[in-house]
């Protein structure tokens, strides 16, 4: 195995591990195959009384019953998830409906992101577009009134902003180029990701880290850093869509099957279905295999005029055609995605130093890029509202 092939294999494994971690620390551990040290016995085993013959027979019977039930439940889960998979892919065949009904992306937000990318952008041109999106206006007003982002001179002279128009002028165009993509992606997040309690937060953290890493790497390589930040934010929109689709579709299909089992008086099936919950293995496979392609389709449907994202997304999904060269923004996005995943894996101690070295070598990180990223803040936007 050549060094490049080994690095590529490592990159693929770590990408999957990062997807697993989105659904939970313990789940990611299970997928790696860690041995839980708590299960290892140390010292002398405790003395146990000898089971009576009747107890041995009863225990054997319970084990057989439990094994049979687990097999039945696994079969019920397989049938359920085949129906869910069919329903999801049927919905994905109509991307306009996914954008409107699942993600809730309005046409106006794409227009705003496009406008922010051009030099002729003005607050006056943005104002009517923001006024049409009440949620965005509320977010901007809330932001501009936060002490963290605004210098408060004194209680007597500080002015509380209460309109989107005034908020836009306080924030300023340079800041809006970072703020609006961030608020847009947060607005599309699922309201709840139960039973994966931390998934929503991790999706938000991933998008933020993607965007900030892309911005930093772009600045070093003379690539448009606003384009990089915006695409970094949008890169996970496919994940968001798939999470929302899966959780909603699971609930719908599961309820229908439980109702049918009850009506047909199939007690074993009814009991098995009641024990089933959304499956992390199904979801992580769905995200790993489909999320980037879905992001590309959503971005294509947003029909940007000035943001050059379509060619980049095609290269990210399909690779670079023979004879073609990788677009500078594509290279930035690959590195940003890698680094944001690395941050999450490192935080949970799910990556080794040799794996990190191979991963960074595969994506050809420079020393300058790594040094800059190591000292960057990936949790807050670097803005100051005066």
309 falls within a domain: yes
Q: pLDDT-based confidence at 303, cuts 50/70/90?
A: very high
Instruction: Please provide the average confidence, as pLDDT, over all residues in the chain.
Output: 88
50 falls within a domain: no
How buried is residue 207: exposed, middle or buried, by Cβ count under 10 Å (0-12/13-18/19+)? buried
Among 377, 288, 293, 238, CA closest to 22: 288
12 falls within a domain: yes
Q: Which long-range contacts (CB under 8 A, 24 or more apart) does 278-283 make?
A: 278/195, 278/196, 278/246, 278/247, 278/250, 279/77, 279/81, 280/20, 280/23, 280/24, 280/27, 280/196, 282/81, 282/84, 282/85, 282/246, 283/23, 283/196, 283/242, 283/243, 283/246
- CA separation for the pair 35, 377 (Å, rounded): 34
Q: Which pLDDT score is estimated for 37?
A: 37
- CA separation for the pair 339, 359 (Å, rounded): 9
38 falls within a domain: no
Among 241, 127, 242, CA closest to 185: 241
Helix (H) or strand (E) holding 192: none
217 falls within a domain: yes
- CA separation for the pair 15, 288 (Å, rounded): 8
Is the model's pLDDT at 51 over the cut of 50? no
Mean pLDDT of the region 158-178: 89
Q: What is the DSSP string of 13-40?
A: HHHHHHHHHHT-HHHHHHHHT---GGGS
Q: pLDDT-based confidence at 278, cuts 50/70/90?
A: very high
Task: Give pLDDT tens digits for 19-41.
Answer: 999 999 889 988 886 433 333 34
- CA separation for the pair 209, 182 (Å, rounded): 11
Is the model's pLDDT at 153 over the cut of 60? no
- CA separation for the pair 37, 344 (Å, rounded): 23
Among 14, 13, 15, 20, CA closest to 281: 20
* 3 state SS of 95: helix
How buried is residue 211: exposed, middle or buried, by Cβ count under 10 Å (0-12/13-18/19+)? buried
Among 129, 135, 93, CA closest to 113: 129
Written as six digits, the tokens of 27 are: 């789940």
Q: How many domains does the chain have?
A: 1
Mean pLDDT of the region 294-315: 96
Q: Which pLDDT score is estimated for 39?
A: 39
- CA separation for the pair 146, 139 (Å, rounded): 11
What is each CA distance from 178 to 113, 226, 236, in whole angstroms? 10, 8, 16
CATH number at residue 265: 1.10.3210.10
Return the biggest CA–CA distance within the chain.
87
- Domain span holding position 212: 3-21+74-374
34 falls within a domain: no
Is the model's pLDDT at 47 over the cut of 90? no
29 falls within a domain: no
Is the model's pLDDT at 1 over the cut of 80? no
Is the model's pLDDT at 350 over the cut of 90? yes
365 falls within a domain: yes
The DSSP output letter for 46 is P
- CA separation for the pair 39, 34 (Å, rounded): 11
Contact assessment for residue 336 and residue 363, using Cβ atoms and an 8 Å cutoff: no
Q: Which pLDDT score is estimated for 57?
A: 52
**Helix intervals (H) in the chain:** 3-22, 25-32, 53-92, 95-97, 107-116, 123-131, 134-144, 164-171, 173-188, 199-220, 225-234, 237-263, 267-274, 280-301, 310-318, 328-347, 353-362, 367-374
Is the model's pLDDT at 349 over the cut of 80? yes
Return the bridge partners of 385, or none: 150
The DSSP output letter for 99 is I
Q: pLDDT-based confidence at 95, cuts 50/70/90?
A: very high
């Amino acid at each position: 195995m050549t060094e490049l092939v080994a690095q590529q294999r490592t990159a693929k494994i770590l990408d999957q591990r990062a997807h697993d971690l989105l659904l939970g620390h313990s789940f990611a551990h299970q997928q790696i195959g860690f041995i839980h040290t708590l299960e290892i016995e140390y010292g002398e085993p405790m003395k146990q009384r000898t089971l009576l013959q009747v107890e041995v027979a009863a225990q054997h019977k319970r084990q057989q019953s439990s094994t049979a039930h687990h097999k039945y439940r696994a079969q019920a889960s397989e049938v359920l998830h085949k129906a869910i998979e069919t329903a999801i892919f049927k919905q994905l065949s109509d991307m306009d409906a996914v954008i409107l009904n699942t993600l809730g992306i309005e046409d106006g937000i794409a227009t705003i992101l496009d406008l922010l990318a051009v030099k002729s952008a003005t607050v006056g041109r943005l104002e009517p577009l923001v006024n049409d999106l009440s949620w965005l206006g509320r977010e901007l007003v809330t932001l501009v009134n936060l002490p963290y982002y605004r210098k408060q001179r004194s209680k007597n002279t500080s002015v509380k902003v209460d309109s989107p128009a005034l908020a836009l002028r306080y924030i300023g165009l340079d800041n809006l180029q970072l703020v609006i993509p961030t608020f847009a992606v947060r607005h599309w997040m699922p309201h709840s990701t139960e039973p994966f309690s931390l998934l929503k937060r991790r999706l938000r953290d991933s998008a933020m880290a993607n965007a900030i890493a892309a911005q930093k790497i772009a600045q070093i390589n003379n690539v448009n850093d606003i384009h990089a930040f915006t695409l970094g934010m949008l890169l996970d929109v496919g994940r968001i869509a798939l999470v929302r689709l899966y959780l909603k579709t699971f609930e719908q299909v599961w309820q229908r099957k439980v109702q049918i089992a009850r009506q047909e008086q199939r007690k074993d099936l009814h009991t098995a279905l009641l024990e089933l919950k959304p499956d992390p293995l199904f979801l992580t496979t769905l995200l790993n295999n489909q999320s980037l392609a879905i992001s590309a389709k959503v971005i294509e449907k947003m029909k940007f005029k000035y943001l050059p994202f379509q060619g980049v997304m095609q290269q990210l999904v399909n690779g670079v055609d023979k004879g073609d060269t990788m677009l500078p923004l594509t290279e930035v996005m690959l590195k940003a995605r890698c680094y944001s995943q690395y941050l999450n894996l490192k935080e949970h101690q799910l990556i080794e130093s040799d794996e990190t070295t191979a991963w960074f070598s595969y994506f050809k990180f420079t020393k300058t890029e790594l040094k800059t990223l190591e000292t960057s803040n990936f949790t807050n936007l670097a803005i100051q509202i005066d």
